[in-house]
Every structure is written in C-alpha cells, then in structure tokens.
Amino acid sequence: MPNPCILLVDDQRDIVRLLHSTLQSLGHALDIVDAPSGEEALLEASRRKVDLLVADYLLPGISGVELMRKIKARNPELRVIFISGMTERRARDEMLHAGALAIFDKPIPLADFLDAVERGLGLVRTIFPMASSSENDEPRQSLSELLGGFRQKIKADAVFLINDRGRVLARAGDLYDSSMEVSLLAALMGIYSAAFKVSRIIRQEHLDNFHVFRGGDHDLILIPVDSSHALLLAGRGLADSNRILQTVDGMLFVRGDLENILKSLGVAPMEAGAEPAAPEEEAELPVPPFVLTSQPAPEPEVDVEALLSAASKKKLAQDVDAFWEEAVEKAGNIPINPDVITFAEAQKLGLKPGEAPIKTTGPLGTGGLKKK
C-alpha cells in the first residue's frame, strides 16, 4: 500500500519548508510534495494520487478553493487543510462550506496542524490521542452512547468527556471548526484546574461550578465531573438566558451517570476538599504561619545618628584612600627632570634638612638642588 501523499501549496517558501520539516517529525511514512502555485499543484496532482492538500487560501493565479475543487473533480476522497492570513469570517465560512477539514491562520499552531493531518489521513494520533486504557470496551461504549443520547436530547453540536490532561476520553459530535481543538481543550482544562484549586480554598464539599462562553462558533459550557475529568458541551444558543439553567441542570444529571461509568473503569472520583494525588497536582510553596500576640515583641532601637556618622567616616576614609591611590597612579606618569633629585636621594647623599642648600644658577633658579 503506498504511503499517504500530502501536497503543500504556498508561494511563501519559508512556510512550505516549516510545514515539510514539521510533518517529517511525526514519524509516519508520508510522501510530501511541494508546489509554489495552484497551477503547479495541479500538475503534481495529475502525476499522483493526493490524499491531503494543504494550501494557502490566497495563491498567485487560481485560489486555494478553486484548486481544491479542480483536484476533487478527479479525486473525490481528497481531504483539505487551508492556511490563511485573512481573518474575515466570510472567507473562513467559504473554506468550511467548500469542505475544508481545518483552517489555520498564520502563524500556524503546529500542534493543531499535526493533529488535523493525523485525523485527516486516519493515522495513529500521536499529538492528541484518545485516552488509552486497558479496560474492556463495554464501559467506553456506554460512555459514547450516554454522550450521544444527551447530545441529541439537548440539541448540541458536540459533547466531550475530557481528562485533566486535555485528552478526550469520549465524544459525540464535532465542533463547527475542529482546527483549534487541541488548543481549545488545553485552555479549557487550564480553567478547570484553576477552578479546582478555588474549590479547595473555599472548602467546597462537592465540585459545584461551571464555566460559560457565549457567542462565536458555539456556546461552550464546562462543568467538572470529578477531580480528573470534565464535561464540555458545545452548541448554538445553549447559553441563552432562557435556556442556560435547563442546559446546566441536564449536564449535572448526566454527570451522575458519568461518575458511575468512570467508577466501573476503575477511576475513583475525588471530592473537592480531598488532597489530590502527587504528582498530578502542582506543588505549592509553603506559607509561613503568622503568630498573633496581644502585645507584639518590641523591636530593638536603632541609633540612626550613629549609623549616619559611621557611614560618613567610612565614606570619607574611602574617598581619601581613593584620592591618594589616584594621585600616586598619576604621579607615576609624570616625566622626571634629570636635573632634580628626590628627597630620598638627597638623604642618601647626606643632605639632611637644616643644612644650607647648594645654590645654583641652573634651570631651577635660586634654592634648587642639582646633582653633582
């Protein structure tokens, strides 16, 4: 069976090289082909069967959407990932409606890109794998059935059961745009982890909180199931004022069934007040205890004037030493007059203070000393 073929199409060579080397890092056996334009990409697609097209939305010549349609006319099974520097929702909707598997803005989030490639080609998922387990498939099938039934009843787009590492344990449905699923779930589980710490601080007996994001592609609602899992619901209008309470009540009802299934999988839920098992929980720095007394211990008196006086003397001594060190250093650079002797040389010659000096008419004038 031939290796899956990926065709990279972008007129920016730096992006093509980045994606090429990133795809090679996956470790899958892939046939990767590059093309700088849509026309050259069509030529490459005529020579081989392309499994995945990764193309810029704006190409010189034909557009990325046009390129996709031309290749799909001969290869209906083609999967497509678009790259775009445009942020307009209209362009994004056009790419999704054309059948794009994923859309990534520049700069490209590489983890999400690689995950989309693995999903699109049906490869073993290494970037964002389903949570692995050694239990039998019956409880997991029950999880999928439970989430699927709840999704249909509440008319949501997608339901996810996520573990504390942001990996999907079970799911039903898909997001409107799954391009950023890796980043989205990782960010949501960061919120969940912070909320769990808050629950511990305020000593909640049960994990009773939820997080709502309204608007955009979906309304998102996240509630904890236990200390290691959370339930995520995505859909339009779920967080409307006339619907939000009913939605959350439904999620809380399903949470009880999820807890029972997780127990059958060997996952014991932990209450908010319990200490999480190390090293799953981030270590916190110990806080020194505060001792309160009716009369605080008096602090030792400080003689400020004495400290200032000592500091001034020390500074003066340092300044004096620095002055003479600098003077000696400079004196060493003064040129010596051959007609003049130093005081030490005069002592060696027996010329002591108090003796009449030898008068000369040399360049020193009256009273100078001159070598004999």
- Sorted by where each starts, the structural domains of the chain and their CATH numbers stand as 1-129 (3.40.50.2300), 130-275 (3.30.450.30), 336-372 (no CATH)
Other C-beta atoms lying within 10 Å of the C-beta of residue 366: 9
Provide the 8-state DSSP code for 180: G
Look at 95-109, 291-305, 323-337 and tell me which has the smallest mean pLDDT: 291-305
Q: Which of the pair, 369 or 40, is modelled with greater confidence?
A: 40
Mean pLDDT across 9-23: 93
| Phi, psi angle pair for 6, to nearest 5° | -115, 125
Amino acid 262: pLDDT: 84
Cis ω on the peptide bond leading into residue 60 (within 30° of 0)? no
Calpha distance 282→259 (Å, rounded): 24
Cβ neighbours of residue 2 under 8 Å, at least 6 residues apart? Answer: 31, 49
Which is more confidently placed, 267 or 314? 267
Average pLDDT over residues 122-137: 63
Range 186-216 burial, b when 16+ CB lie within 10 A, else e: bebbeebbebbeebbeeebeebeebbeeeee
Q: Mean pLDDT over all residues of the chain?
A: 77
Residue 283 confidence (pLDDT): 35
pLDDT for the residue 299: 46
- Residue with more model confidence, 212 or 268: 212
Per-residue pLDDT at 338 exceeds 60: no
Instruction: Label the pairing between strands 229-235 and 219-226.
Output: antiparallel
State the average pLDDT over residues 275-287: 37
The predicted structure's pLDDT at residue 287:
36
Sign of CA dihedral 125, 131, 132, 137: negative
pTM above threshold 0.85 = no
Dist CA 302 CA 119 (whole Å): 72
Residue 15's pLDDT is 92
